[in-house]
Structures are given as structure tokens and as C-alpha cells.
Amino acid sequence: MKVTFWGVRGSIASPGPQTARYGGNTTCIEVRTDNNELIILDAGTGLFPLSQTLLAEMPVTANILITHSHWDHIQGLPFFVPNFIAGNVLRLHGGIDPVTGRGVEHVMSVQLQYSYFPVREDEMRGRIEYVTVTPRQPFTIGSATVTPCLLNHPVVNLGYRIECNGKSVFFTGDHEPPYNIYAPDDANYADYQSLVDERNQAILSAIRGVDVLIADASYTDEEYRGKQGWGHGTFTSSIATARAAGARTLFCTHHEPTRSDDALESVFREAVRQSSADSESVDIRLAREGETYEF
């Protein structure tokens, strides 16, 4: 399998000289199976440069897996160039929003309202298909098996495990490890802790033994103290998850948009140093826009 990063920033695109080394586009990751089937994880602003490269291999059948519907993970969809060319197919996969009861088709219908974008969906010449997915219910994309996993974010967020020919990758999207919202002396603490432990074990089971884990590592431990409940992980939590799940390689992503590349490398080095006892068996890397990893 082959993984290429087209967008690794979180929350908002942050182009400029201070982010040029690791990239300023928001989340978009290309996965190619050994049979060259195209799977795309999220559709942030990195989807636009990816889509331009696909013009060299038309007709294109692209399978985009949406983790959740926050802007930084979907705002590249209207600019997916193959959508404008007849003969191409985009299959958009995603979960159901329990608040609205709507599926992933709602993601496109909102963005392509004429008030916000000058091209309506029925004016696009490529074909767009919508696939609703369910946590823990595997489905196939060509030779690959994809299993969604419900993770923890302020909106429904699905992580995806992709397996093909004995190789595997797991992407968390935006994820904050579940934690107990009650104080230890609260009467509800023990019952809620059982729920937290159950959820964390289910997540570890979904990740268990992957070759590549791509995880939300937005914050340092110090930053997290003021941002608990925002729905994002830390370098420490991602490293601990990778080790506990037996992942071979960890890519830390969803880089804080206000953090320069120099600062990013600095906090990453310190997190790896502090977690050295937990990370001996894991190859830990920073996700970098434009980088391809083949395994």
C-alpha cells in the first residue's frame, strides 16, 4: 500500500513561509492499494492539489471517506476537479448525523448551495454517488476492506481501518481519547469510568496491529490542559495509543495551524523524548504534506 499526505494542518488552512516545510493545507490523505485503487481520507483543502494530479489518469474512480463534517475536512469537495469532467466517478462515504438524521449527501448539498458556490451539483458532469457507512460494519472498495470505527469528537467522527493483502492503515480523523467527566469523589465516577474504559478498549481493538496509524496529535500536554473537551488528541496520547495497539508506524497529524514548522519540530522532539519508554517499538513521524510512505 502507499500513503500520500496532501493536507496535514488542522482547523484552518495556514499557508505561508512559516508552514511551507510541513504544509498549510487541511486534512487530505491519499491511499493506494496494491491494485492502485484510489481511497481518499477526508477532503480538506489538500484535496484540490491531489485532484489536479488525477487528471493524468482519467477516467477516475475516487472513493472519499469522510471522518466528519467539520469544514477543515470537507471544504475541498467543491474543488475536486474530476467532478467537472464526464466519465469520472466520485463515491463519497460517510456516516449519519444523528442530529439531522441526514447522511453524507448533506455535506455536498450544503456546500453547493448557490449562495456559497457558483456550480450546482446537477451541473457537474462527473457522477457523484453517496454511500452511508455504519461503525463496525466492514465494506469493500475493490481489493480493500474498510471498517469504520466511532471515535470521540464534538460531532460524530468515524475513524477508518483499511486492509488489503495483509497490510493495514488506520486514520483517526479528529479524536480525543475518551476521559471521565466526573471527579473521583463523584457518585457517578465509577460507572462512567467503566464506559470510558469500554470505549477506549474498543478503539484500541479497532487499531490493533496496523502497519500505519495516522492520528490526531494537535496539542502538547500543557496545551491540552486548557483545551480538554475540544475533541483533539496530543502527541503523548497518540504515541501511547500506537504502542498499546501495537502499531508499527505512527504519523502525527492535524498540526496546530498557529504553530510554525520550527515550533512543530521542537514540540514533537520533546514529546518523543518524554514518551521514549512508551515508543520504543513504534516508528514515530510527523506527517508532511507531499510525503509518500509505501509499505
| Full-model pTM | 0.96
Rounded CA-CA distance 162/160 in Å is 6
Percentage above 90 pLDDT, the chain: 90
Q: Report residue 84's pLDDT band, with 50, 70 and 90 as the boundaries.
A: very high
Q: Are 11 and 26 in contact (CB under 8 A)?
A: yes
Tell the burial category of 196 from Cβ atoms under 10 Å away from its Cβ (0-12, 13-18, 19+). Answer: middle
Closest CA to 264 of 10, 5, 6, 4: 10
Give the N- to C-terminal CA distance of the chain in Å, as an integer. 6
Q: What is the pLDDT of residues 197-256, one digit of tens each?
A: 999 999 999 999 999 999 999 999 999 999 999 999 999 999 999 999 999 999 999 999
* Digit-coded pLDDT (tens) for 97-146: 887 888 999 888 888 888 889 998 888 999 999 999 999 999 999 999 99
Topology of the domain comprising 2-294: Metallo-beta-lactamase; Chain A (3.60.15)
Contacts of 213 (CB under 8 A, 6+ apart): 169, 170, 172, 207, 238, 241, 242, 245, 247, 249, 250, 251
Rounded Cα–Cα distance for residues 78 and 69 (Å): 14
